[in-house]
Amino acid sequence: MTTDFDLLLDGPAHDLAEAVSARRVSAREVAEASLARVGRSRELHGAFLHVAPAAALAAADEVDRRVASGEALPLAGVPLAVKDNINVAGLPSTAGSRILEGFVAADDATCVARLKAAGCVVVGKTSCDEFGMGSSNESSAFGPVKNPWDLTRVPGGSSGGSAAAVAAFAVPLAIGTDTGGSVRQPASFCSLVGVKPTYGRVSRYGLLAYASSLDQAGPLARSVRDAALALSAMAGPDERDSTSIPAAPRGLLDRLEAGAAGVRIGLLAEAEAPEGGLDPDVGSVLDTAARILESAGATIVRVSVPRVPFAVAAYYILATAEASSNLARYDGVRYGARREGDGLSGLYRATRSAGFGPEVKRRILLGTFALSSGYREAWYERAQRVRALLALDFAEAFRSCDAILCPTAPEPAFRIGEKGADPLAMYLADVFTVPASLAGLPALSVPAGLSRERLPIGMQLAGPEGSEPLLFALGREIERAAGAWGRPPGAIR
């Protein structure tokens, strides 16, 4: 039997929040309905690693008290799923790794605390590629996640559990982290809106670090408005994160319905290059998205960011170098699960050998090599120069356009196991998302069409630092014109 709570869970998060705020339903009733779906999604998709019914119901009761007292909560009672590399007080944080088994977070990440303050109710922690290292959610130590659109396919990574949870209608909102595309690519594969903010827009406090100069938390939602509402709640300066932008963001929702009239949209030339390996269906949806924006009054121009072809190579040197440093703390002494060995070196060897999975070991080895004596200049420092030049390329491109349009991923969701034996093929799945990450720019993935196999295809909009309001307006235009694609075959009801 379908209840009012089920209908609210099927709809936008902002409608649900309005219903709770108006006291037409209680946050507790919504949380109970969501928890039932979360349990089914955990079984069917593997989306959740940890479910917190007692904590969720207590939080929902607190939301109901706050609403009854007259407090205005923009996300009142909205069930929230949190990627398992983001701390939630009192819940495990494993980052999808055996090395953190048994670790329970002492406090909330800043982005979680702010979403709770806005009225969100955390229902559980979602699966992810181990420490955020992956593009398919197959490298989690606790098993792969299945895409609700096709259970034989990946949901994308590394925030695949968060994406699957929202796509399956278990929750209306989730947060993930995006280092090189880990929010945007799952959004594309699961027909969601995913946002990577300007670097520093959202505090990194409480995120389990992978690559500190790249990591950003961002929302996954079923509509542009919900994503903008969530980012508005998450964003802002934080004294506990020295890289957070000091000024509070302004007007993230102000331009949402402003449309595309008068906006110059740059069609990324490198995305259309024959050697780019673009799937024909993705190319067709790119053309459709460009026509939608042009029909809405935008001017379409061709732009080039010449160093985009080098971005993946630079990223996988810089990110792995930072991972090598960041993950050194998991040694069985200071952090992480302990495995005994012969002496101190044996302790380290036993702990890290048993605790880390193959992909994490691969990236630690790559990063350690790139930073080692005699190779640092040839690899790490050269990659840093490519990063700086890429940022200059973007700055030059934005002289002739206000935002850049390109695919989020070169193909729709691939099959589970399809790329596991070929790391390079997996890394190339990030070819369109990594450039904005390296340059610290905001980027948004919005559903724009379906493949001939009825798999979702997302388009990416990237802009200069601080251009999130414009990206939301453009994404809303594509969303309005492209329409809805229906419920995924694997959705929960």
Tell me the catalytic residues. Answer: 83, 158, 182
DSSP per-residue string spanning 13-45: HHHHHHHHHTTSS-HHHHHHHHHHHHHHHHHHH
Distance between CA atoms of residues 471 and 265, nearest Å: 11
Which is nearest to 155 in space by CA: 145, 142, 165, 143?
A: 145
- CA pair distance 185, 194, nearest whole angstrom: 8
Cβ atoms 174, 83 nearer than 8 A? yes
Beta strands 193-196 and 264-268: pairing type?
A: unpaired
Q: Report whether 110 contacts 206 (CB < 8 A).
A: yes
173-178 and 456-462 strand pairing: unpaired
Q: How many Cα atoms are found within 13 Å in the side-chain-facing hemisphere of 483?
A: 4
Q: Quote the tokens at residue 111.
A: 């982005």
| Sign of the torsion formed by the C-alpha atoms of 82, 443, 240 and 249 | negative
Integer angstrom CA distances of residue 291 from 224, 265, 298, 404:
19, 11, 9, 14
- Nearest alpha carbon to residue 96 among 140, 60, 160, 158: 140
Q: Where are the beta strands (DSSP E) in 252-352?
A: 264-268, 299-303
